[in-house]
A and B are shown apart, each in its own frame.
Chain A
């Protein structure tokens, strides 16, 4: 398959995987750690959505499904088989416990990414495309324009019934 198409499909699948699992695991609801709260409030001050800001802050401050997807695809690429994804899930779980997070988002993201990559190899997409694709997906949320991306995440979070928890 043409490399550009494969990387694009890898990027779309990685984006869907990490955004859906992170929103489902409640990342836009509350900041897991205080650093995430600071980043979330800073994005809100610049015109973004608070839930989307907490989402970005939680991605920066703790390994979540984005880290899980990236490391699972790296593991799959290096080991040549889904075992790499399982080892990545183990490491992401330990990383989560170090960062004061229960660990559900990262491990679930890594396992579901392993399943996705395994299914995608049957249509000709290899794990390298998922590695680059995950970087592109992270770029769209964290690196282009925070107010727009946080508003998109906020809208998706409200649709999936994960609103910001006010204390």
Chain B
């Protein structure tokens, strides 16, 4: 059961490295808005795969690989458009 999660994480990391996402955000990590592999790409991959894992029919390694690829692509290109980061001094 855990292997598929590892495959999703590995696939997201590999595609993140290919798309040239940084591995760690810049320091101090807790205040940075930079999108990196550790955060949020792996979180998205594991979270989405956990959702799909609940529906038993999507429970195989192909879904894991596809979700890893999707989360890397989503965080690189679409995350900033869907959830824009606020400019300095702006309120949510």
Q: Are A and B in contact, CB atoms below 8 Å, in the complex?
A: yes
Known: A83-B53, A93-B40, A94-B83. A102 touches B47 (CB 8 A): no
The answer to whether B57 has its CB under 8 Å from any CB of chain A is no
Chain A interface size, as a band, is 20 to 34
Chain B's nearest CB lies how many Å from the CB of A150? 21
Q: Are B40 and A103 in contact (CB under 8 A)?
A: yes
Dominant secondary structure at the B interface: helix
Query: How far, in angstroms, from A90 to B53 measured CA to CA in the complex?
Result: 14
A107 touches B40 (CB 8 A): yes
Q: Evaluate contact between A83 and B54: CB separation under 8 angstroms.
A: yes
Are B86 and A107 in touch, CB under 8 angstroms?
Answer: no
Residue contacts A-B, CB under 8 angstroms, 14 given: A26-B30, A34-B91, A83-B53, A86-B46, A87-B50, A89-B43, A90-B46, A90-B47, A90-B48, A90-B50, A91-B47, A102-B30, A102-B32, A107-B40
B residues neighboring A (CB under 8 Å): 28-33, 39-40, 43-44, 46-48, 50-51, 53-54, 79, 83, 85-86, 90-92
Enumerate chain A interface residues (CB-CB to B < 8 A): 24-26, 33-35, 79, 83-84, 86-87, 89-91, 93-94, 97-100, 102-105, 107
